Each structure stands twice: as C-alpha cells, then as structure tokens.
Amino acid sequence: MQWSGLALLIMVGCGILLTGLPAFLVLITAAALGALLGLATDTFPLALLGALPGRLINLFDSDLLQALPLYVTMGLLLNRLPVADALYRASGAILPRRPAAPMVSGMLLGALLGPMNGSVGASVLGLSRVVAPKLAAEGVPPAKREALIAVAATLGVLVPPSLVLILLSDAMLQAHTFAITETGRNDFVINTQDLFHAALVPAGMFMVLCVTLAWFSGRDVTGLPDRPRLTRGEGWLAAISLAALLVLLGGVAAGYFYAVEAAAVGAFALLAAGIVTGRLRGAVMRELLRDAMAITGALFALLLAATTFTLVLRLLGTDKLVNNLVAGIPGGDVLPTAIVLAVIGLCAFVLDAFEIIFVVLPIVLPPLLIRVADARWVAVLVLLTLQASFLLPPFGYALMMVRGALKPAAPFRAFLKALAPFLLAQWLLLIVILAFPRLVHFLDNAKGTTRSTVDSISNEELNKRLNEMIVLPPPPDLK
C-alpha cells in the first residue's frame, strides 16, 4: 500500500489542475479515499485515525501561525494605501534619468515591499496597480512590463521575513527534528532565524542579478522618463515608509525582532495610518477585513487539509517508501538533494508554493535530512526552488496572476522571451548554491540566533512513536 500514497499525490495534482476546485477540498477528498482504502485492506486500524485531533492541535500550537493573518492584512493594506506609489515616485526622482530607470524602480519596489506583502499574489496586484501604468506611460513594451512585475513580485520570497520563508522554516524545523532524532546526531535544530540568516546572501545575489538585468533590459526603451515631481507630503511618506521598512526587515534579519512581532508592528502601523488619514473608513474598512478573513481562512483550510492528507500518507507507509528511495540514491549530498529538488520542481507544475510546503515537504524533507546533515543548505535550496516555482512556465502562479491582472496580455512567446534572462539567472543561482554550500553559512554565528539540540532516542522508541503517529513537539523558544 506504500505506492498507493504516491498515486494519491498524483490524483491531488490532477484534481487541482483539471477540476478547478479549491485545493483544500481536493486534499480532503484524497485523504478520505486513502483512509477508506487503508481500512478496507487492513493496512492500519481505525484507531490510528484518532491521532488526527492531536496532530491538528500540535499544528496550531505553533506561534508562527500568528503571522498568517498579520501578513495577509499587511498585503491588503499596502494595496489600499499610497505607500507603494510614493516609494516608486521617490525612487524615480533619485535614480539617474535613463530609459532603464523605471524598470529598476519597479524591481527595487518589489524587493522592498514583497517581504511585507504576505504573498506573491498581493505583490502582483500591488505592482500591477502602481508600476504597470507608469511603465506603460514611459514606453516599456507590454512583454517587458509583465516579465518585470512577475519577477519583482517573487523577490519577497527570498527576503526575510517573507510568508513563504516563515512557513518553510516551520516545515524545516519539524523535518529536522525528526531527522536528528532518528540519526542520533548531536546537531542544532534549525529555526526561523537560522533560515533568515542562511537566505540573506543568496537573496542579495539574486537581487543584484535582477536589478542588473532590469537595467540592461530597459536600455532599448525609447525616450527618457519624466522625473516625477514629489510633493512635500509624498516625500515625507516615502522617507518614513522606507525607514520603517528597513528597520523592520533589518531587525528581523539581525535577530532583534521575531517575524511575528515585525508583522504585528507593520500591520498595526499601516492600519493606524489608514485610519488617521481617513483612507480606511466605512465600506473600505469592511472590505479590507472581509478580504483578510477570507484569505486567512483559505490558508488555514489548506493547512488543515494538507495535515490530514499527510497523516493518511504516513499511515499508508508512503513516508517509509520515500525514505528508502532517498536512502538508495548513490553518491554524496549533492545528487540526492538535486533529485529531491527536481521532484519539488515537477510538483510546481500543478501545485503552488503553499501547497508544496504543506503537502510535499513533510514527505520528502525528513528522509533527505536523514541523508544530508546540512539543514541550512537544504532549506535555502528548497526556498530557491519554491521561488522559482512561481515563475515556472506555463503555469507559474506569478505568471498567471500577472497575465490575468494586466489586460490586454502580451503574446505569450514575447512574454517568455522577456522573462528568459531572469529565469536563467534564477536557475544559475540555484546551481551555484547547490555547488557551493558555504554561501549559506556566512551568518551562522550572527547575534540573536537561537540554538537548541534534540536528545536522541532508540530506534524502538522512534518506531513506536511513528506507529502511533505522535508528532514530536518543537523545542522551546524556536519562533
């Protein structure tokens, strides 16, 4: 019955792609079918399904999940307040007056606001509203506008404290705890701050590549951009917003703030500013709160359904099958890691990044981390793969969002031609990090990084816990 779990995974991917139903509904349906199959074939007793409530309670005991509604609220607020517009106009006024300046401004805005936007979708909508009309007015072709907005919207995935990065850190903590418990390695459990530090250098490298490509891509734009004339109010708003964002992002990256604390401060500041300026009153406030509740509810529904689905896969023994497959890959650390990344990349054709984090990573990460001891290196490679999944033609989430938000859309061939240099840079960075693990360890000893170890247990006790489907609780103080 172990292979039936992989069949369920394929069924989930096909169901999401072909039916158009919400992902959580497809996952719950697949979990129910898997449970019925397991009970009908006596693969596991009915009593083991009683582990589901405890599993869900352990799941929602994580403080990191508090960040979900906060980041969603921040993304909605940034789309309704003039912060992005003021920052873009200020950037255009500061940069040299060249044809490529507007594209560079758009890329920088995506990197600055992306981590606070909460999701790639929110970044796409915000950049489409603020940047796209200005690029069109300055003569940038539609294909280049779409490519720039799609890439800029994904930059926030790599820059702490992005929502994808936070959710990935939680999945890594669970998988790493399991791996060092089984192997008995006296290792430090990776936490959110470790992943923030490990991602900074790759994020900086990709940011430099994207800004450089944006500059060269915009050189053939005809005409020179008009320098925006900033009013005193816009100048102050841009300066205050830039300072606040840099303090929050820098504080999280340096370990002075937890990601949840930074999200709470950012959401409160934006909400207070909107209320004081009168931009969030009456129907606007009600719409914002309704959207925040709907998006947060969808994410929590996906998380609940994915947790239920992965429980059924474990009961069917699919995790043991994957463990044996990964253990049987020859070579050192690079080959098994590359193969697992390739599997994640294939999943990205039918699943978005959140679905991969909730469904696929709990299955493939524990056996990989048993095989590969460098959890920070693995985490950054997975993060880069998830970020690449947003731009993976033809169904990448950012691509579909951009082409849906900007009408009329450019011809797809021209769009891919404009996107190609950024895709090459993305995969080049992934190969470089795969070949040179040291690049993720420059800030290992940064101030504020929390360290905890997990005591090893016997194989008998481990197997007993797996059979009873008891989820190991995370070590304390690992927000």
Distances (CA, A) of 460 to 35, 66, 453, 455, 466: 26, 36, 21, 15, 10
Distances (CA, A) of 281 to 7, 100, 198, 275, 330: 50, 38, 41, 7, 61
Distances (CA, A) of 327 to 331, 367, 369: 10, 7, 11
Nearest Cα residue to 365 out of 351, 355, 375? 375
Distances (CA, A) of 294 to 21, 73, 153, 287: 16, 11, 21, 10
Q: Within a domain: residue 478?
A: no
Q: Within a domain: residue 256?
A: yes
% of the chain beyond a pLDDT of 70: 90
Instruction: Provide the pLDDT for residue 473.
Output: 40
**Domain span at residue 405?**
64-296+316-467
Q: Within a domain: residue 222?
A: yes
Confidence band for 227, pLDDT divided at 50, 70 and 90 = low
Mean pLDDT, to the nearest integer, of 56-67? 75
Q: CB under 8 Å to 126, separation ≥6 — which residues?
A: 75, 78, 79, 84, 113, 117
Higher pLDDT, 444 or 157: 157
Query: Do the beta carbons of residue 361 and residue 394 sit within 8 Å?
Result: no
Instruction: Provide the pLDDT for residue 85.
Output: 82
Query: How far is it, in rounded angstroms, from Cα 20 to Cα 37?
Result: 25
Q: Is 0.85 topped by the overall pTM?
A: no
Angle among Cα 39, 42, 46 to the nearest 5 degrees reads 45
Q: Within a domain: residue 92?
A: yes
Number of structural domains (the chain) is 1
DSSP3 helix / strand / coil % (the chain, rounded to 5): 75, 0, 25
Q: Within a domain: residue 42?
A: no
Query: How far is it, in rounded angstroms, from Cα 77 to Cα 279?
Result: 10
| 218 pLDDT more than 80 | no
Q: Within a domain: residue 331?
A: yes
Q: Within a domain: residue 127?
A: yes
Q: Within a domain: residue 224?
A: yes
Query: Do the beta carbons of residue 189 and residue 453 sit within 8 Å?
Result: yes
